[in-house]
Amino acid sequence: MRNLLSFLGKVSSPGIPISGRVRIHLLQGDGSDRRIYRLITRRTTVIMVSHPLGRRGRPSENDSFFYIARHLQKKGLSVPHIFAFDRRRGCFLLEDFGDLALASHIRTFSETTQIVDCYKHILERLVDIQIKGAQGFETRYCYDTPLFNSRFTWERESQYFLRAFWKGYLGKGDPPEGVEKELRRIAGEVDQEKKRCFLYRDFQSRNIMVQGDRFGFIDFQGGRLGPPQYDLASLLIDPYVDLPGEIQEELLEYYLRIFSRQTIIKPRQFKKNYEWLAFQRNLQILGAYGFLSRVKGKTYFEEYIPSALAGLKKRLGQKIFRLYKNLRAMILDL
């Protein structure tokens, strides 16, 4: 706290909306190591983030957040304004988007049409982020590789799933013979998609804040260039909401219509590539839940494992995965 108070003492200026008495409330974080506070004054609120671990490297994770936030804001996209950034301390002062995340907002709807309409608006914003975000984006500011490709997904998602979920969470040994070879082959399919957009990497319902008719987007520091299907899958197969399959299909078709207005695509090939990337996202989700539950002690993530695992099993039942017999047998037996 002393570090944060020192940071606050050095950022007072006319451009920062903090004056008079300030109350500081610690907010509940999610899966990261950041500590997040809401500063409350008589007139307004702002968010203060402390992330000392994000100072490592050049560029660091904090550097990436700072650059990407400013880049997306210049494109007219709804990301938090940065009032101040102290690189040495690893602290930010940010615009406050409130407490209502999409994951909670969706639960207030009583009609399916309300859910679909809400997601259609978000998909429109996603297309803007993907297309506009890629324009002039400088990958040298990406702290964790500049490109999402088959090598990245094999190392960070397929192997992460085996290490953190299969072994770490389920307590299994080495996977059955042939599984790693099949996973590597599926990861290679990611490179079938040649289109490169801005890739948010964690575009899911807890990173989308709702303020009336406005959506605000947070936690994009892992952004880079990559295939558009990944962020689309991150939203549609998100276990926090667990959209029914028929709604996912309807929203996928809607996305294809609006995305094709801004760029040329082949819908049939796009959908096939979507399946490969949705599979990889599913592995990443399970790996993350396993790691956060077992290693970080955040056991509340276990609640979402059944939904994520059910989605993975259903995806493996599709025609394009039939060749991967060892993998299917391993997963379907869980």
pLDDT tens-place string over residues 173-215? 999 999 999 999 999 999 999 999 999 999 999 999 999 989 9
- CATH 3.30.200.20-classified regions of the chain: 2-95
Average pLDDT, the chain: 94
3-state secondary structure of 235: helix
Instruction: Give the rounded percent of residues in the chain with a pLDDT score beyond 90.
Output: 88
Q: What are the tokens at 98? A: 């409130």
Question: Given this model, what pLDDT does residue 42 score?
Answer: 80
Backbone φ, ψ for residue 211 (5° rounding):
-130, 90
pLDDT of residue 271: 97
Q: What's the confidence (pLDDT) of residue 31?
A: 64
Residue 267 preceded by cis peptide, ω within 30: no
Burial 12-48, CB ≥16 within 10 A → b, else e: eeeeeebeeeeeeeeeeebebebbbbbbbeeeebbbb
Nearest to 49 by CA among 17, 95, 100: 95
7-16, 55-64, 318-327: the lowest-pLDDT one: 7-16
According to DSSP, residue 101 is labeled: B
* Residue 215 and residue 98 in contact, taking contact as beta carbons nearer than 8 Å: no
Which residues of the chain does CATH 3.90.1200.10 include?
A: 102-332
pLDDT band at 324 (very low <50, low <70, confident <90, very high): very high
- pLDDT computed for residue 11 by the predictor: 63
- Please check the confidence at residue 5 and state whether its pLDDT lies above 70: no
d(CA 47, CA 32) in angstroms, rounded, equals 16
pLDDT of 78 over the 80 cut:
yes
**What beta strand segments (E) does 16-153 contain?**
23-27, 35-40, 45-50, 82-86, 91-95
pLDDT of residue 15: 62
Q: Give tens-digit pLDDT for 85-140.
A: 999 999 999 999 999 999 999 999 999 999 999 999 999 999 999 999 999 999 99
Q: Give me the pLDDT at residue 22, please.
A: 82
- For 330, phi then psi, to 5°, come to -65, -45
Distance CA 283, CA 37 (A): 31
CATH topology of domain 2-95: Phosphorylase Kinase; domain 1 (3.30.200)
Residue 17 pLDDT exceeds 80: no
Place of tokens 């319902």: 205
Q: What is the pTM of this model?
A: 0.95
Rg of the chain on CA atoms, in Å: 20
CATH number of 102-332: 3.90.1200.10
pLDDT of residue 136: 98
Token pair, residue 290, equals 């396993």
> Residue with structure tokens 């049409």?
113
What are the residues whose beta carbons fall under 8 Å from the beta carbon of 34, sequence distance 6 or more? Answer: 49, 50, 51, 54
Residue 319, classified by CB atoms within 10 Å of its CB into exposed (0-12), middle (13-18) or buried (19+), is exposed
